[in-house]
């Protein structure tokens, strides 16, 4: 009888624990998918700054290959000085929009979300400021 009670209590405890832990598990999945979250929020393309918007995009998607003088294609996206070169010669927008005549970027990954591309375009069109 005692043994039976312990089993029942343990199984109840396990059920309770599952119910308590489940929301956290679901929540962490939800917040991990950053790009999908952005798709559900309006795309902000105004007042784009290099430090707040553009540099984090490059750090997430590009700088593993494009850092320093030995960066792929001789392109350094880890600094404003390097990024502004491809911003101003048209290669940055050509590559991320997968336009003809450019090597599509990011290489080996799917195209950036439309909102991210629009933010890059907005920054380039504003003259690629170091802000
Ligand atoms: C896995 C490595 C890798 C990643 C990640 C990567 N690139 Fe590249 N990128 C390359 C290589 C290699 C080249 C040179 C290939 C070529 O020019 O044919 C290149 C070339 C380029 C060019 C010149 C394209 C042209 O046609 O002139 C631009 C601009 C560029 N990358 C931007 C980016 C941006 C922006 C990102 C992130 C969104 C990115 N790259 C991510 C490897 C990478």
The reply to whether ligand 1 has any atom less than 6 angstroms from the CB of 104 is no
Predicted pLDDT at 31: 47
Confidence at residue 29, expressed as pLDDT on a 0 to 100 scale: 47
Q: Is residue 37 part of a domain?
A: no
> In this structure, is residue 38 part of a structural domain?
no
Residue 39 lies in a domain: no
Is 57 part of a structural domain of the chain?
Answer: yes
Supply the pLDDT for residue 19. Answer: 55
The range of the structural domain enclosing residue 18 comes to 2-32
* Predicted confidence (pLDDT) per residue in 53-94, tens digit: 999 999 999 999 999 999 999 999 999 999 999 999 999 999
How many structural domains comprise the chain? 2
More confident: 2 or 31:
2
Evaluate: CB of 112 within 6 angstroms of ligand 1: yes
Atom of ligand 1 nearest to the CA of 106: 41
Torsion angle of C-alpha atoms 120, 124, 130, 131, degrees rounded to 10:
-60
Kindly state whether residues 48 and 28 are assigned to the same domain: no
Model-level pTM?
0.77
């Amino acid at each position: 009888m005692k043994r039976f009670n312990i089993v029942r209590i343990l199984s109840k405890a396990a059920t309770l624990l599952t119910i308590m832990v489940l929301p956290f598990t679901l929540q962490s999945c939800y917040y991990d998918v950053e790009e999908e979250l952005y798709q559900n929020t309006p795309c902000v393309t105004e007042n784009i700054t290099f430090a707040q918007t553009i540099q984090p995009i490059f750090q997430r998607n590009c700088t593993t290959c494009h850092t320093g003088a030995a960066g792929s294609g001789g392109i350094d996206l880890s600094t404003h000085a390097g990024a502004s070169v491809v911003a101003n010669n048209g290669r940055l927008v050509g590559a991320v929009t997968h336009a003809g005549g450019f090597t599509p970027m990011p290489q080996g990954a799917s195209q950036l979300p439309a909102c991210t591309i629009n933010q890059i375009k907005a920054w380039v069109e504003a003259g690629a400021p170091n802000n």
